[in-house]
Structure 1
């Protein structure tokens, strides 16, 4: 059965979290000239703000230049490196645990892992936003990316930088997952656009307090038009449990989810009796709804 573009778009309107890849990048239908399978171990380098910066790229199995891919930034914490995120060392899961989940998706995923300056994301005068925008331009000129499916996640400073991207590139970022972040350390230039937002934070975080995570969430509750509600209860102290809130009334394609867990400043909290963290499952549940 044949469908016209008009009828297909009408069908997609019935599923507001789905979208047709109408913004393929300029790298589609081209043989990559820059990114190779070795780009997971050998950094790619660009000059941004007169500084040499580096990043790594992970291609999915059987990369196909004719198919628009999802792109996910995975950003390290203060004192961390892109190499640790790739290898799953220093408290990280490899690529925050997302590739096995992404591989089961019908939209293939490219992971981009940049290195921050001085092992962080101070974003002075917006230089890290500029760098990551330049990375997008470079990667999308070489690979086939759906420009409507750009995402970012990270822990601590990496979460703060993901929040900063949502503020500065609101019309260019589909969703972010901010893990134990902070609204000040990477800044928030702009911050008026609606962006799908997942936040996660520990009640006992003595590094970046929970109140600051609520400030970030509240910005996007407002931007996304979500219904106001009382502050959800937090898990009991010592329970190691979590409370997940999916907010109502948000724009249909700009949801907000917030998870509070009983714990400290950690990227991989676990619930009692669970052998692995819930972080990557919750992050992927949020990101994976956009296609």
Structure 2
């Protein structure tokens, strides 16, 4: 009943051309633990799948919705796009996510679960068909949340993210994750790099994939599926524990959200067992 009321309100606001302070490019939805922006498909339904997309370091939820190619790609497939904002570092610095082990700050898992619950009540988002995704710093956050709480979201998708050194020894359990990376990314290189005078060290993407294979109890390190989708060269591991999924895609570009990524992720997610 609550969801139906929320959907009716959303449809009413859309008919007026804007979601008064919550859903357009200017305003934000406010909850106790933070803020988020949201865009719904052009034809919202009572129960919609959604992508929660986490911005990179120094970005914002509002900035995510300016990535029109990605946003329109998801909307065209019937997905709502939810763009939460990280908290300013040290109170007034660039917005970022509390992903690095030992960092203090907001409970990011709790915040993102609050965002999902609020979007479900207000707009009819289906919490059981919500993908957590992110770029760069947001991609790092996706990695650590997937590792610690693999069942918190329906699936995970990271672009230019990964673990940091020291890599986790192990993750909590099987995951459903799609990792995308640019071949010429020099901000988050495939091999990782040092920052802050060596105080922080990005991890190796291929070492991270080995951790995921262990979490998914894959019988072999070798991928057993290869394909190409447009510019993407893809490989996947399917001889793993039932219900898990792991796929990796490279594209010939740098530190960016590649064209066609949204469609590829929706195709992957909707092809997962039980989807």
Common fold, TM-score beyond 0.5? yes
Indicate conservation of the 8 Å contact 2:155/2:175, yes or no.
yes
- What's the CA shift for 1:151? 0.5
Partner of 1:266: 256
- What's the CA shift for 1:168? 3.4
- Distance in 2, matches of 1:249 and 1:127, equals 34
- What's the CA shift for 1:32? 4.8
Normalized against structure 2, the TM-score is what?
A: 0.73
- What's the CA shift for 1:181? 0.5
- What's the CA shift for 1:61? 3.1
- What's the CA shift for 1:258? 0.5
Partner of 1:223: 215
Normalized against structure 1, the TM-score is what?
A: 0.69
* 1:97/1:216 CA distance change after superposition, 3 Å: farther
Partner of 1:22: none
Partner of 1:78: 57
Pairing 1:284–2:263 present? no
- What's the CA shift for 1:54? 1.0
Q: Which has the higher contact order (CA 8 A, sep 6+)?
A: 1
Partner of 2:194: none
- Alignment RMSD (CA, Å): 3.1
* 1:97/1:213 CA distance change after superposition, 3 Å: farther
Pairing 1:182–2:162 present? yes
- Distance in 2, matches of 1:189 and 1:27, equals 42
Partner of 2:176: 196
- Which among 86, 96, 105 is matched to residue 116 of structure 1? 86
Question: Gapped runs of 5+ residues in structure 1?
Answer: 1-25, 104-108, 233-239, 269-276
- Distance in 2, matches of 1:213 and 1:245, equals 14
Task: Spell out, residue by residue over 1:80-105, the C-alpha distance to the aligned partner (whole angstroms, 9 max, x if none).
Answer: 222222122xxx734283222x23xx
Pairing 1:98–2:74 present? yes
Indicate conservation of the 8 Å contact 1:164/1:188, yes or no.
no
Indicate conservation of the 8 Å contact 1:27/1:145, yes or no.
no
Task: Spell out, residue by residue over 1:238-261, the C-alpha distance to the aligned partner (whole angstroms, 9 max, x if none).
Answer: xx9653102120234321111123
Pairing 1:87–2:77 present? no
How many matched pairs? 235
Partner of 1:141: 121
Question: Gapped runs of 5+ residues in structure 2?
Answer: 89-94, 192-203, 225-229
- Distance in 2, matches of 1:64 and 1:279, equals 23
* 1:188/1:30 CA distance change after superposition, 3 Å: farther
Indicate conservation of the 8 Å contact 2:210/2:221, yes or no.
no
- Distance in 2, matches of 1:27 and 1:165, equals 29
* 1:132/1:189 CA distance change after superposition, 3 Å: farther
Partner of 1:245: 235
Indicate conservation of the 8 Å contact 2:42/2:75, yes or no.
no
Partner of 2:138: 158
Task: Spell out, residue by residue over 1:252-277, the C-alpha distance to the aligned partner (whole angstroms, 9 max, x if none).
Answer: 43211111234432222xxxxxxxx2
- Distance in 2, matches of 1:194 and 1:27, equals 33
- What's the CA shift for 1:231? 7.7
- Distance in 2, matches of 1:252 and 1:278, equals 28
